[in-house]
Copies of this chain bind each other. A is one copy, B any other.
């Protein structure tokens, strides 16, 4: 059987010292990390709050000092969205752009408050389509209880852009007493996942040119604030949360391990993968651990609190399928390993680039 036509989703170029931008620089893997560490961070150093950027979460959490109420901090995050196609089963670029930034704030422990929207339109785009996308954004904002408060529109010439690129930035409040981050992670902590993985990435892939394979999947794009705030309100020992978008659960676990200086061991068969995702991945030669999600959360919580945290997560719509997938360990710091079905272990590496570019 011949390979599907994969021309449109480009093999990530593995030339680490390439003088040009390659697709992998946007893939959320090693090349993305290197671009940030070696090009952007040195350039942006020396500004008053620059230390914040070096923490490299998906949100900055800013202590604004006495101007903000006692102990409260501001979370601030941004993401651009260049997904192709713009419409896919279960959603479009609009709700993806709202939920993506809402979730980056939510996993920082913030209650998302307000979003900005920057739209870069290609001359010739149908206004009717833009209208549908804007309405989807409004509906997603209302569902996430967040407000779109400021925006900007630019138009680029026909033949440039891809119809529409969106950027959303967001701010949220982190309450006094919330202290999350890699420094909180300890050996013995449990690694929890809010539900089945791979649905967003495969849903987008299912409508790419030449790749229709009739999967009945829809994107899992949804706001995770009820889950994250539920965990914080329950007073459980949450150490760190991340949403496994670009690069999938594998990239997120690697970031957590590297940033915290601990090892992470997962049990491969405990990672919930829907049958259709597994079938599509098998057909295409992809690993579900590396497929992007939007609306899932990886939570690291003190070991003794794991069951109570799962109960709390399962009481929310986005966490109904929550399960424990692994444990933080003092061994192999910075490295993620998976115990396989046949009893062995394998290293779950940070991808060089994403398997499927432009799905967020």
Contacts and interface: CB of A to CB of B under 8 A. Distances in A.
Interface of A: 10, 18-27, 32, 35-36, 39-40, 43-50, 52-53, 58-60, 62, 64, 66-69, 72, 74, 76-82, 113-114, 116-128, 130-131, 134-135, 137-138, 141-142, 145-157, 160-162, 165, 167, 169, 171, 173, 357-358
Contacts of A48: 145-147
Contacts of A121: 21, 25-26
A224 B201 CA distance: 44
A307 to B, nearest CB: 33
A148 B43 CA distance: 10
A80 B167 contact: yes
Given A53-B150, A69-B68, A147-B49, A155 B26 contact: yes
7 contacts: A20-B124, A21-B127, A47-B148, A52-B149, A80-B120, A116-B169, A161-B162
Given A25-B121, A121-B25, A82 B116 contact: no
Contacts of A117: 40, 44, 78
Contact of A49 (B45, B74, B113): B113
Nearest to A176: B67
A22 B147 CA distance: 28
A44 B153 CA distance: 15
Q: From A25, A131, A142, A169, name the one whose CB has the most chain B CB atoms within 10 angstroms.
A: A169
B44 A134 contact: yes
Given A116-B76, A123-B21, A147-B48, A66 B64 contact: no
B138 A76 contact: no
B167 A10 contact: no
A66 to B, nearest CB: 6
A81 B156 CA distance: 10
A300 B131 CA distance: 36
A296 to B, nearest CB: 19
B114 A76 contact: yes
A43 B134 contact: yes
B153 A35 contact: yes
Given A10-B123, A48-B147, 8 more contacts: A21-B125, A36-B151, A39-B134, A44-B148, A82-B156, A154-B165, A160-B162, A167-B169
